[in-house]
Amino acid sequence: METKPPLPPFTAETAAQKTRMAEDAWNSRDPDRVVQVYTEDTRWRNRAEFPVGRAEVHGFLTRKWQRELDYRLIKELWAFTGNRIAVRFAYEWHDAAGAWFRSYGNENWEFNEQGLMQRRFASINDLPIAESDRLFHWPLGRRPDDHASLSDLGL
């Protein structure tokens, strides 16, 4: 059976590692890569969408990254216990018209014994920002290890 370490029950170290791994995957903006960390029957709530299963999640992510351009994300561990992790996050992106946004949110994750995410509940708010107010300037892809965290940025 497929596993995605680190596996629950989580420690502070493994929960932080799982959080960074999720951030790295999402910053790839590659739906094929991202869906591999979810169970085949994963259940999500993301704003007003409720995808179920890897295929629906793949479609959701494809649409997301066609709409949210130059996407850069930072996730930060908030809490953990057993097989659950809570994170807070912010990401910056622009739409096709060039309007910039910073989206803030929280996610609650639940993992199976193999370390695959079976539940993801996200609450997200979008804030229009001026391009000059952007804080996430690294090249597209993985956030550099020395880049400021959400807490360091005061977010």
- By three-state DSSP, how is residue 62 classified? helix
Is 57:35 a contact under the CB 8 Å cutoff? yes
Q: Which of 89, 73, 86, 72 is CA-nearest to residue 124?
A: 89
Provide the residue-wise pLDDT of the chain in tens; the chain has 155 residues: 789 999 999 999 999 999 999 999 999 999 999 999 999 999 999 999 999 999 999 999 999 999 999 999 999 999 999 999 999 999 999 999 999 999 999 999 999 999 999 999 999 999 999 999 999 999 999 999 999 999 999 99
Domains of the chain: 12-133 (3.10.450.50)
Is 54:35 a contact under the CB 8 Å cutoff? yes
Each as own residue / partner, the long-range contacts of residues 60-66 (CB below 8 Å, 24 or more positions apart, any chain) are 61/31, 61/34, 61/35, 62/31, 65/29, 65/31
Scan for tokens 């807490």, then name that residue: 151
Whether pTM exceeds 0.95: yes
